[in-house]
Structure 1
Amino acid sequence: MELNNLKSAPGARKARRRVGRGIGSGLGKTAGRGHKGQKSRAGGYHKVGFEGGQMPLQRRLPKRGFKSQKLKYNAEISLATLDQLGAAEVDLLSLKAAGLVPELAKVVKVIKTGEISRAVKLTGIGATAGAKAAIEAAGGSLAE
């Protein structure tokens, strides 16, 4: 076998449909395009979403929603995760190193999900009112 002798399997290459070649072909005269109208003519078609001049659906419906690009710089961490971390002092860099917050994060806040049993000192990390109370009850502290 050589490269110049390679052939595709029989039936693998199907001849393309030749339209507009007389009655006998079965696709003569209108060539499968029906009668008249924009779609029957050469070069006659329209943009996606075009409705013949009628106000298109995407313009009839109201604009909704907004997603702030600043959200990607915010992160949150639960009390339970903070407890599992097991560090006495926690700051933004230690959370990033542990892989608990994304590298992009600039603002981190502790939320009250789960319990904390050990004393933890937080520096440069915010906390919700409930989380702050739980941390202080466990003997920890918050320094902004």
Structure 2
Amino acid sequence: MSLHEINTGVQKNKRRQRIGRGTGSGWGKTSQRGHKGARSRAGWSNRATFQGGQTPIVRHVPKRGFNNKWAVTVACVNIKDLNELFNDGDTVNAETLQSKGLCKRRFEEVKILGDGELSKKLTVEAHRFSASAKEKIEKAGGTCTTVVRRVTVAEKKEQAKQADS
């Protein structure tokens, strides 16, 4: 076989198989669907979890835990990370933390935790502070400003529902 013979006999656009056109065609009578059963009927389609009538694995495996759709996602940042990435006199807020790569995923609030030591004077703006973090920032000569988070429409509805009851 030579290189110029590789594609001989290969059709670019193959004609579709016409079924149900008599027994002489080889695709007549049941039209390759077999006798009876779900697949032989018109309009049959299976679910992604279908396992041939057997109880699917998704129904065998028990449901575990609870996924709270109202939970606030909090990005936690330690003081030691602030000490490494920021210079003396810098302002630390949600935008600067994202730009430095400390808060990579989606979050609604930022919490500063007190792990490590701080030797730089920083102005820190966050939604939450641990007691030790606040103490260490103020001890280093910096300031802690608590930022109020914007409330979403869903949270406003939930608060109104709680107020009514």
TM range (shorter): 0.5 to 0.7
**Cα 1:85/1:91, change in 2 over 3 Å:** closer
Alignment match, 2:161: none
Q: Gaps spanning 5+ residues in structure 1: where? A: 1-9
2: CA distance, partners of 1:12 / 1:87: 67
How much has 1:33 moved relative to structure 2?
0.7
Pairing of 1:14-93 with structure 2 (within 5 A): 14-43=14-43, 45=44, 48=47, 61-62=62-63, 64-69=65-70, 71-72=72-73, 74-83=74-83, 84-88=85-89, 90=91, 92=93
Q: Gaps spanning 5+ residues in structure 2: where? A: 1-9, 147-165
Structure 1 vs Structure 2 CA RMSD: 3.9
Equivalent pair of 1:89/1:123 in contact (CA under 8 Å)? no
How much has 1:79 moved relative to structure 2?
1.4
Alignment match, 2:136: 134
SS at match of 1:115: coil
TM-score by length of 1: 0.58
Alignment match, 2:156: none
Paired-residue identity, %: 32
How much has 1:119 moved relative to structure 2?
2.7
TM-score by length of 2: 0.53
C-alpha distance after superposition, 1:43-79 (max 9, x if no partner): 4x2562578999876667547531435535x433331
2: CA distance, partners of 1:91 / 1:22: 78
Larger Rg, first or second structure (1 or 2): 1
C-alpha distance after superposition, 1:65-104 (max 9, x if no partner): 31435535x4333313322222536364xx42563558x8
Amino acid at match of 2:12: A
